[in-house]
Structure 1
Amino acid sequence: MRLLHKGVSFAIGLAVLGASLAACGGGDSASGSGDSGGQIELSIGTFTEFGYEDLLTQYQQLHPNIKITHHKTGEGGPYHQNLITKLAAGSGLEDVVAVEEGHFSDIIDKSGKFNDLNEIGPKDASADRWLKWKYDAGKDKDGRLIGYGTDIGPLALCYRKDLLAAAGLPSDPQGVKSLFATWDSYFSAGAQYAAKTGKPWFDASSQLFNSMVNQLDVGYLDHNDKLTIESNPGIKTAWDKITTAISQGQSAKLTAFGNEWKTGFQQGAFATTVCPSWMLGVVKEDAGPANAGKWAVTDAFPNGGGNWGGSYLTVPKQSKHPKEAAELAAWLTAPEQQLKAFQAKGNFPSQVQALTSPELLNQTDAYFGDVKVGELYAEQARKVTHAQYKGPGDGQIQENVIKPALQAVEQGTPAGQAWQQVVDGAKRIVK
């Protein structure tokens, strides 16, 4: 499952941004070529919520001769399908195009159709602005920078304190760390929980499996775009762990973001869920006010850190104003602006200076017991040391092969038989 649903903000009451960040607003781009010459019309395409509405208004005020049209699509799937179609057609794309990290491999395969931002972008948009792994993941195989990083989705775990306590398990944020230290300890606690209560431990098996695979040094494809599904022991190990957990009754057998999944939050249908930073708002919305204080989040994730979600801003070669488009993209992805996007929609910034700002670190969330969510997720972000290479077809394997295969196991298909479906399905995608 990839981040195609960026939802409700968990950043409530974020303070006015400090003057210490003022210098990070994209110095070159604030006084770039858009301030001279005739009227320039730029367009930007985004999906779901990026928190850019007020920022685009501000940018036009700073650049009176630039007019920006914002094309915003509600769902990420259709948006990215349309992107690939227009890329192949050679026309129709915006000057600045947002791409979700799960689909970035699809455009990296066609990176010649995008501008190198290191060549056309402002000089202050340098590598040290971003977390290293985020910046590196925005480059193609030749080292060309295709995308400026926007947000990230550092991983933690959310859990129901009351349900764990009723099962005789630790329930405070410090106590649960031993349960969530490794995948073995996590599933061991899940087996205990399911045996004690007769209820599921987690919500959706595909979300856990994808999180496990994303922690591996090499995923479904290596850097030569060769399929590793049979040669990568980490993938099969993850499969065995998750299917064993399913056989023990640990899975609620729900489809993430479906109606039953949303209802499950309200009814306590599961005790734990994978919680990237943007998921806190989803939990609050779906679980509702009646469950405030019951859900908690801890700065622990099995086998270390991880990332789920985040996007990039790109400038296709179709753009008639590539330099001005790059300046806009660089300005939007500066620390100051990404903190404002965090304030607007809860998208967690990928910029180093934003991650150390008091405004972010002091952010709390009353729904989760006044935990310092900014500090917690900033620490989780620092645990991610590299970005796993995502070759062409990676997202299709996750969505169209892994997910239905795990659902089949949940409905009674033997794990070995479903694994063969995974192998065969992946081979059909990566030929």
Structure 2
Amino acid sequence: MRQIRRRLAFAVTVVLLVLTGGCGPGTPEQITLTLATFGQFGYEDLIPGYEFTHPGLTIRQVKTEQGGPYHEDLLAKLRSGQGLADVQAVEEGHLADVLAQSAKFADLAEIGPRDVKPGRWLEWKYEAGRSKDGKLVGYGTDIGPLAMCYRKDLLEAAGLPTDAGSVKTMFATWDSYFRTGEKYVERAKGKAWFDSAAQNFNAMVNQLPVGYLDREDHPTLETNGPLQAAWNQVTTAVRQGQSAGLTAFADDGNNGLRLGSFATKVCPSWMLGVIEEQSGPGNAGKWAITDAFPDGGGNWGGSYLTVPAASEHPAEAAALAAWLTAPEQQLHAFRVSGNFPSQVDAFTSPDLLSEMNGYFGGALSGQVFVAQARKVGKPQYKGPGDGKIQEQVIAPALKAVEGGADPGAVWQQVLTGVRRIAG
């Protein structure tokens, strides 16, 4: 039924495209715009409609399967100034490196369509696309608002409640979450509370007003009390046996999902598909999701569309990026790829609010993530190298703690590693 609804929705979208036309400036004849994306953005069905309403315009989408190689290539092209597309997608984890080179991108607030206002997006999403000098480098596409996923059967087996009210209480704060985890591992006979210390720690750090770097791009770890407290909470939980010590998205993490090796998982909107695929049909209905996340809201994931300054057709490229990030198009992308929209008007869409996930016991997942997205506060500043700090320093450090290393000694290694990357 869900696929039928999506096909009907796409048919309506195409008809509307033909009837309403485009929203950008007049397009000169025989212009080709390149659109570079990675993974699944859900734009393939939309491009023919835009071309139809813009005679003389051809859009060539260049897709890269994996985000890592895509962003390595993007940064190399920014260094050389050669080979950039007219519209370049950027994932939020790599956005800091792009914002640090804002001079190489057009200011979309200046060259974009006049009717595209900041209020189109959630405030935190819009603000995160601006550089330190105030330039709007990216139009927001999707987001990854955070909820918590959990195995009802595992909680029940450990004598813990699974009703909605009790679950929200358990997941209200990180203190209550880890306290419940301590009870769980005492009762669950070898099963862990969560999959990976790095997964939880990254979510905790991203909730803080200040992360690894301040706005002058100096490391904060030696003076950032809340970040140090998060490290202590996570590593204490590891030493209590709460972490399964797995690597998310690797073979061991996927096997852990299938085997039920842990009971809870930090769960951005896009994680539902990962859990369903890796846990397999045998675990359908065992997983649940709640619109509670420790200490409020958070975000993990999402992207932006940017227009490099090197584009020969910046106004037309900005018009295309603006159209692709309008609520109607982002709802279509959600229907075909599951990418959760960041546009305020999309949050009242019946399509989004009625989205039901059978694998998670019929949860109204659209409503869950709308509620979670609205809880996110101001965007945390992320300086250049923030992604490297998470991937090259924090993740291996927490893996070492999961392997039995002393958290205090590892913390000193973290300080050294962060100084090496950030200076």
TM-score bucket (shorter structure): over 0.9
What is the CA–CA distance in structure 1 between the aligned matches of 2:49 and 2:21, rounded to whole Å? Answer: 16
Question: Do the aligned partners of 1:146 and 1:314 also contact (CA within 8 Å) in 2?
Answer: yes
The within-5 A match list for 1:108-127 is: 108-127=99-118
Find the counterpart in structure 2 of residue 264 from structure 1: 256
1:148-189: CA deviation from partner (whole Å, max 9, x where unpaired): 000000000000000000001111333211110110110111
1:214 Cα deviation from its structure 2 partner:
0.5
Find the counterpart in structure 2 of residue 33 from structure 1: 26
CA 1:365–1:196: 2 relative to 1, 3 Å = same
Find the counterpart in structure 2 of residue 177 from structure 1: 168
What is the CA–CA distance in structure 1 between the aligned matches of 2:85 and 2:163, rounded to whole Å? Answer: 48
The within-5 A match list for 1:321-332 is: 321-332=313-324
What is the CA–CA distance in structure 1 between the aligned matches of 2:267 and 2:5, rounded to whole Å? Answer: 21
2:368 corresponds to 1:372: no
Structure of higher RCO (CA pairs closer than 8 Å, 6+ residues apart): 1
Percent same amino acid among aligned pairs? 58
1:234-271: CA deviation from partner (whole Å, max 9, x where unpaired): 11100000000100111111111001111111110111
The within-5 A match list for 1:186-265 is: 186-197=177-188, 198-265=190-257
Find the counterpart in structure 2 of residue 5 from structure 1: none
1:271-322: CA deviation from partner (whole Å, max 9, x where unpaired): 1101100101111111111111000000000001100011000000111111
Question: Do the aligned partners of 1:28 and 1:122 also contact (CA within 8 Å) in 2?
Answer: no
CA 1:141–1:28: 2 relative to 1, 3 Å = farther
The within-5 A match list for 1:85-124 is: 85-124=76-115
CA 1:398–1:78: 2 relative to 1, 3 Å = same
1:18 Cα deviation from its structure 2 partner:
12
Gaps of at least 5 residues in structure 2 are none
What is the CA–CA distance in structure 1 between the aligned matches of 2:348 and 2:210, rounded to whole Å? Answer: 30
The AA in structure 2 aligned to 1:387 is P
The AA in structure 2 aligned to 1:427 is R
What is the CA–CA distance in structure 2 between the aligned matches of 1:260 and 1:383, rounded to whole Å? Answer: 32
Find the counterpart in structure 2 of residue 16 from structure 1: 9
Partner residue of 1:57 out of 42, 48, 63:
48
What is the CA–CA distance in structure 2 between the aligned matches of 1:61 and 1:341, rounded to whole Å? Answer: 19
The AA in structure 2 aligned to 1:112 is A
CA 1:340–1:45: 2 relative to 1, 3 Å = same
Q: SS of the residue aligned with 1:252?
A: coil
1:87 Cα deviation from its structure 2 partner:
0.5
Gaps of at least 5 residues in structure 1 are 1-9
2:133 corresponds to 1:142: yes
Partner residue of 1:158 out of 149, 154, 159:
149
CA 1:287–1:13: 2 relative to 1, 3 Å = farther
Question: Do the aligned partners of 2:17 and 2:53 also contact (CA within 8 Å) in 1?
Answer: no
Question: Do the aligned partners of 1:24 and 1:335 also contact (CA within 8 Å) in 2?
Answer: no
Find the counterpart in structure 2 of residue 131 from structure 1: 122
The alignment's TM-score, normalised by the length of structure 1, stands at 0.94
Q: SS of the residue aligned with 1:192?
A: helix
What is the CA–CA distance in structure 2 between the aligned matches of 1:52 and 1:24, rounded to whole Å? Answer: 13
The alignment's TM-score, normalised by the length of structure 2, stands at 0.95
Find the counterpart in structure 2 of residue 409 from structure 1: 401
What is the CA–CA distance in structure 1 between the aligned matches of 2:285 and 2:202, rounded to whole Å? Answer: 28
What is the CA–CA distance in structure 2 between the aligned matches of 1:19 and 1:141, rounded to whole Å? Answer: 41
Question: Do the aligned partners of 1:181 and 1:302 also contact (CA within 8 Å) in 2?
Answer: yes
1:65 Cα deviation from its structure 2 partner:
1.0
What is the CA–CA distance in structure 2 between the aligned matches of 1:56 and 1:289, rounded to whole Å? Answer: 34
1:24 Cα deviation from its structure 2 partner:
11
What is the CA–CA distance in structure 2 between the aligned matches of 1:12 and 1:173, rounded to whole Å? Answer: 31
The AA in structure 1 aligned to 2:44 is E
Question: Do the aligned partners of 2:291 and 2:368 also contact (CA within 8 Å) in 1?
Answer: yes
Find the counterpart in structure 1 of residue 389 from structure 2: 397
What is the CA–CA distance in structure 1 between the aligned matches of 2:205 and 2:91, rounded to whole Å? Answer: 18
What is the CA–CA distance in structure 2 between the aligned matches of 1:165 and 1:171, rounded to whole Å? Answer: 7
What is the CA–CA distance in structure 2 between the aligned matches of 1:218 and 1:179, rounded to whole Å? Answer: 26
What is the CA–CA distance in structure 2 between the aligned matches of 1:128 and 1:412, rounded to whole Å? Answer: 48
What is the CA–CA distance in structure 1 between the aligned matches of 2:40 and 2:195, rounded to whole Å? Answer: 24
Question: Do the aligned partners of 2:22 and 2:53 also contact (CA within 8 Å) in 1?
Answer: no
Find the counterpart in structure 2 of residue 278 from structure 1: 270
1:29 Cα deviation from its structure 2 partner:
5.0
What is the CA–CA distance in structure 2 between the aligned matches of 1:336 and 1:100, rounded to whole Å? Answer: 21
Aligned-residue RMSD, C-alpha: 2.0
Find the counterpart in structure 2 of residue 355 from structure 1: 347
Find the counterpart in structure 2 of residue 381 from structure 1: 373
The AA in structure 2 aligned to 1:408 is A
CA 1:219–1:339: 2 relative to 1, 3 Å = same
Find the counterpart in structure 2 of residue 68 from structure 1: 59
What is the CA–CA distance in structure 1 between the aligned matches of 2:180 and 2:4, rounded to whole Å? Answer: 33
What is the CA–CA distance in structure 2 between the aligned matches of 1:361 and 1:151, rounded to whole Å? Answer: 16
Q: SS of the residue aligned with 2:410?
A: helix
1:112 Cα deviation from its structure 2 partner:
0.2
Question: Do the aligned partners of 2:149 and 2:264 also contact (CA within 8 Å) in 1?
Answer: yes
Aligned length: 418
Find the counterpart in structure 1 of residue 35 from structure 2: 44
The AA in structure 1 aligned to 2:9 is V
Question: Do the aligned partners of 1:159 and 1:296 also contact (CA within 8 Å) in 2?
Answer: yes
CA 1:12–1:125: 2 relative to 1, 3 Å = farther
1:364 Cα deviation from its structure 2 partner:
0.8
Find the counterpart in structure 1 of residue 70 from structure 2: 79
1:33-63: CA deviation from partner (whole Å, max 9, x where unpaired): 22xx320001011111111111112211222
What is the CA–CA distance in structure 2 between the aligned matches of 1:403 and 1:416, rounded to whole Å? Answer: 16
2:333 corresponds to 1:341: yes
What is the CA–CA distance in structure 2 between the aligned matches of 1:146 and 1:262, rounded to whole Å? Answer: 36
